[in-house]
Structure 1
Amino acid sequence: MKSQMLSGDMVKKIFILVTVFLISPPTDVFSEQETIPVIFSLNLDAYHNTFDGFKNILDENKTPAQIYKFDMAKDTPDAILSWIQNNKPPLVFTVGTRALKFAKENVTDIPIVFGAVLDPAALKCANITGVSMDIPVDIMLAEIERIFPDRKKIGVLYSPKTAHLYKELQQNCEKKNFQLISRMVKVGGELPDALKEISWRIDFLLMIPDPDIYFAKSIEYLLIEGLKKRFIVVGLSSFYTKAGALVSFECDYRDLGNQAGALALRLLNGESPAATGFLRPRKLRTSFNLITAERLGIKIHRSFIKEASDVFEE
C-alpha cells in the first residue's frame, strides 16, 4: 500500500479548519441564550428602577439572556401572549399589579417572577414568585420609633379587605409597645366619621394600602384633618409626602429589583417558584415634608433629613 503525502497547502487548510473549530463556540451555545420578557403595568419611574435592579443582577452574574420589554399601556394583551407562546421563555418578569394579574391569568406553564406589587397574597400560584412592595411592619415601626421616640399612639383605618394587614400591625405594635387605636371602615364615605372618633387620641395616622378607603377626596380630607387635629399622617410614598403627609416610607425600588433578579437566577438554575416563595423589600426609603412639620410644630432631627431620599420644603 502506498502512503499518501499531504501537500503543504493541504496541511495549512486543515490547520486553519481545526483552529477555527477550537476557538469558535459551538452553535448550540447561542441557541441557549434565552430571551426574557419583561411586562410593565405602566410607564412609571418606580417600575423602571425595579427593572434596572433586576437587569443589574442578571448582568453581574453574566446570565446569557436578552430582554424583551412590553408595556401594558401600549402593547395589547394578545400581542404579549402571542410572543410568550411563540418564544417559550424560561421565565416571565412582571412589574406592577396589572402585569402580574395578566400573567397569572394567561401564563400557567412558565415561571413568573414579579416585582413592585402591593399585597400579592391573592395572586399566589404554584408558578409565581417575587418581591412585593409591602414594607415589613416591624421595620417601619422601628423607623417611626427612631424618628419620633416620644410618640406611641398609632391610629389606623382599615376595611374588611385589609383586615389581615391590620392584624399584622396589631401584633407588631404589641411587641414595640405602641398603642394601636383603630376603626374598620367598610366604604370610603365612612372615613370622616371614623377619623373623627380617633383623631383626638392619636399621635399618628398610619395609612395602609387600601383603595376602598383611600382615594383622591378621602386623602385630601385626611391631610387637612391632620393639620387641624395636629396628628402626623404617615403616607405610603413620597407622592403622599409631597401632597402634605409629614413622613412616608416606601420600598427602595432598585434594591427590590435586585431581589427579584436574584429570584430569577434561582429559577434559571432549576429551583421551583414554590420553593422560593414571596419576599418583602429589605430596604426602605423615607421622605419628609418640612412645611407640614413646621405647621405641626414638630422638629425633625437633621440626621434624619440627611438620610431621607426626598425632602419637601417649599
Structure 2
Amino acid sequence: MKKVYKLLLALSMCTVIVGCSDGDDTADGEKTLKVGVIQYAEHPALDQAYEGFIDGLKDEGYVDGENISIDFKNAQGDASTPETIANKLVNDGNDLIYAIATPAAQAVAQKTSDIPIVISAVTDPENSGLVTSNDKPGGNVTGTSDLTPVEEQIDLLTQLLPDAKTVAVMYTNAEDNSRFQADLAKKAIEAAGLEYTEAKVSDLSQIQQVTQSLVGKVDAIYIPTDNMMAEGMSTISMVASENDLPCIVGESGMVTNGGLATYGIDYYNLGYLSGVQAAKILNGDAKPADMPIEYLAAEDCELTINKKVADELGITIPKELLDKATIIEE
C-alpha cells in the first residue's frame, strides 16, 4: 500500500508540474496574450508599419516572448493568400489581430466579428467597408489611416517639374485604397491646370508594359501609396529613367527604389500609433467600436528627394526644397 501511495503521489506531482508549464502563462502566472499579424506584402512602407507596431506595443509594456506571443504572417502580395492567413489567425484564437494594408484588413475582417482587429496602411477604412464610420467604427475594427497629402504631392510635382503639362496616375485598379487616391489626384491635377490620364495595372507582370506605354505621351507619372506599385517600383523606375520620365510617388520607400520625390507620411510612426491603440485594447481600457480611426499630424509628413534620380533626369531641385528634404543619393 505504501508503494501504491508513493506512486500515486509521484504521478500527482508530475501532473502539477505539467500544468504549471502551460505555454499560455508567464513566469508569474499571468496569461500570455496572443497577437496575430497579417501583412499584405513585403515592401519598405508595410515593413515599417510592422516595426512601429512592435515598438508601440513594447513601449506600452507588451513584449513578444514575455507577456505576449506574436504570430507574424506575410501574404507576399498574393491576392489569394490573405484569406488563408486570416482563417488561421482567427482559428488560432488570437486575442487581437493586426492587419497591415487594405487587402489584409478586408480578409481578416470578413472572418471574425469578435476578435479585436487593429488595421494600418488603409487609406479610408470607411470607404473600404471595414468600419461603419471613421469617427465611430462601431464594430471590432479600428486602427490608423495612411491617407497621404495628395494635393501637396501634386503641388510638389509642379514645383519640381514646372514645364509638365500631362500627368499619368498609375495605380492598381483592384485596390480600394488606390482608387480612392486616384480620384483625389485627378481633382488636384486638374485644379493645377494640368491634363490627367490614368494608367491602371491589375498584375505585377503588367507593370513594365504599362509604364512603357506612357513614354512619349505624358510628362510625369504620379503613383499613390499602392502595394503593387511599391513592389514593382524598381521596374517602374528602370523604364521611366531610361525614357526621362520622372515619378512623383506616395511614400519614401518608393523614392528609395527609384521615384523622384514625395511629401508623405512616416509608416513607422503610423505603425507605432497602431501599437498604442492595440495596447489599450489588450489592457481592456478601450474597445474598437469606440476608437476613431487615427491619422498622423501634418507635421509628421516628410519631404524626400532622390538626388541621384534628379541628376540622371537633368532636374534641378530648388534650394528651398533641398534644404528641408531628406536626400537619397544612392
Structure 1 Cα separation of the partners of residues 160 and 110 of structure 2: 44
Does 1:196 find its partner at 2:206?
no
Partner of 2:274: 260
Partner of 1:18: none
Which residue in the other structure is 1:165 paired with? 181
Shift of 1:114: 1.3
Partner of 1:288: 305
Q: Distance in 2 between matches of 1:248 and 1:261?
A: 25
Larger deviation: 259-268 or 287-296? 259-268
Structure 2 equivalent of residue 94 of structure 1: 99
Aligned-residue offset at 1:182: 1.7
SS at match of 2:144: strand
- Any conservation in 2 of the 1:39–1:99 contact (CA below 8 Å)? no
Stretches of structure 2 that go unaligned for 5 or more consecutive residues are 1-27, 76-83, 132-138
224, 241, 250: which is aligned to 1:223? 241
Partner of 2:71: 70
Taking a change above 3 Å as real, the CA distance of residues 190 and 290 of structure 1, as seen in their structure-2 partners, is closer
Task: Say which one has the larger Rg.
Answer: 1
C-alpha separation between the residues in 2 aligned to 1:99 and 1:163? 17
Distance 1:66 1:136, change over 3 A: farther
Are positions 1:131 and 2:144 aligned together?
yes
- Distance in structure 1 (CA, Å) of the matches to 2:307 and 2:104: 36
Shift of the alpha carbon at 1:266? 5.6
Matched, 1:114 2:119: yes
Q: 1:150 to 1:275 in 2, by over 3 A?
A: same
Greater per-residue helix proportion: 1
CA contact (8 A) 2:221 2:246 kept: yes
> CA RMSD of the aligned region, Å?
4.2
1:179 has 2:197 as partner: no
User: Which AA in structure 1 matches 2:49?
Assistant: T
Q: Structure 1: where are the runs of 5+ without partners?
A: 1-29
Contact 1:129/1:273 (CA < 8 Å) preserved in 2?
yes
TM-score by length of 1: 0.64
TM-score, structure 2 normalization: 0.62
Q: What count of residue pairs does the alignment treat as equivalent? A: 269
Q: What residue number does 2:35 align with?
A: 37
Given that 1:154 and 1:178 are in contact with CA atoms closer than 8 Å, whether structure 2 keeps it comes out as no
